[in-house]
Amino acid sequence: ALALALALALALALALALALALAMERWFDGTSCALRSCAGAIGEDDAAVVVATDERKRKRLPASTRIAWAANDRQVLHLRCWRDACKGLRGAEKAMVEAAKETLERYDAAGEVRDKARAVAARVRGRTTVAFTGAGISAAAGIPTYRGTSGIDTKSDLNHEEEADDEGTDYSALRPTKAHKALAEICSYVVTQNCDDLHAKAGTPRDALTELHGNVFVEACEQCDAAFARDYAVDAYSTDCHQEPWYVKCKDCGWGHYTGRRCDACGKGKLRDTIINFGDALPYGGLRRAVDRFRGADVCLCLGSSLTVSPANLLPRLVDDLIVVNLQDTDLDSNATIRVFAEADAFLVALQETLAALGEPDPKPKDAEVIVVDDDGDDDNEVIVVEDEKSEARGSSRRRRERAMVLSELEDCVAYSRGVDEERKREATDFEDPLPRKKATKRRRKR
């Protein structure tokens, strides 16, 4: 029995090591550095950068350049080589480099990612952890991103001949990535800007998930708020189906939201897609839950998001311990306790392996001192700080002021979303019986 247990433990350890090795492998490992004076191979132990080519500027380059710029493509360089290449440039190649910096993706070396995973594991273990995710976490599932060196908008802006798009993405065929599955195990609550349903498919309970921009598979009743998850993308029958009898142009975003079906729960309400387009208010219920859960969290993992879209990017600022994992710079890098430059899959597999090796956390110290800080005697503004000799004091006056301002702004957003939701219910209008789904007009699905 002991021998069998040891064999199983060894097999599990080998499987975890193999999974980590595969996850840590970067798409460019083994390729040559694009700096002409280097041209050495880039391996897993090298920090690296990837930058995209601006086609208009490439055609103006002289015959001799420091970097080998590929047409309609991207370049990979050692991080140290990129820094050297940027020094003392003039003329056309300087302009090329400045344009490339806007697309720059940075990759930490594999060893550095593992070290950071161990540091994050020490913070996450035994503490309330939440996650905030963006498009980058779903790139490995097959959904093109908009930013980055191979993003849809990037290729368009840089005049690449072959542009990526998401027209052909079959959302129903997508499967969760390693990152989605890891977050379902590690985090007590997840907020995502994605509408691909992959967090739910990975095992995150719907009551522990806020999809800020909606879900392509979910439609909801505008009267009783009952939600219905379908096995097809409901927004294909709403957003720009102008010829359908149920189409009503949304005064906020200019698109349509009605799907042509009525609610099976209350029997009278019209069903709407849950997609949030530019101009739409964020979902009231989901935003309210997200604010409450992030307020009570100890650690927030931000993955695959540039954290530029407001007010969504305010949520992570409610949490003191902020871990940012993204290839490009984000708006909250200065707020991060630990900053990781890696793909979400690689980092979270390393984090999972570390947490598995650490095992269950020890109980919290019984002699921790609880201090209630209340500057003005108002119970609503009190901040509870748990201090011991190993922990830093939380709730400094600067941090309290910042958190209070962020919370106030989010509460205003929640109130606005609630008002929009109530107004929508008051203004609900009837529509004719829906046409068969097969006659509905397909449209470009926006995320």
Annotated catalytic residues are 213
| Closest C-alpha among 166, 58, 180, 123 to residue 358 | 123
Helices (H), 139-275: 152-157, 178-186, 198-201
CB 101 within 8 A of CB 95: no
Distance, CA of 93 to CA of 69 (rounded, Å): 10
Pairing status of strand 270-273 against strand 258-262: antiparallel
| Closest C-alpha among 298, 415, 303, 414 to residue 349 | 303
Tokens matching residue 172: 């129903």
Compute how many other C-beta atoms are within 10 angstroms of the C-beta atom of residue 394. 17
Tokens matching residue 180: 């989605």
Residues 6+ apart with CB under 8 A from 181: 202, 203
H/E element, 352: helix 344-358
Distance, CA of 347 to CA of 263 (rounded, Å): 42
Residue 17 CA: distances (Å) to CA of 42, 186, 340: 22, 19, 21
Residue length of the chain: 447
CB 241 within 8 A of CB 440: yes
Distance, CA of 81 to CA of 41 (rounded, Å): 12
Distance, CA of 21 to CA of 280 (rounded, Å): 42
Please measure the distance between the N-terminal and C-terminal CA atoms of the chain and give it in whole angstroms.
53
Helix (H, G, I), strand (E, B) or coil at 33: coil
CB 248 within 8 A of CB 272: no
Strand blocks (E) in 18-135: 48-52, 74-78, 105-107, 129-133
SS (H, E, C) 255-303: CECEEEEECCCCCCCEEEECCCCCCCCCCHHHHHHHHHHHHCCCEEEEE
Distance, CA of 51 to CA of 69 (rounded, Å): 10
Distance, CA of 310 to CA of 198 (rounded, Å): 23
| Residue 32 DSSP symbol | B
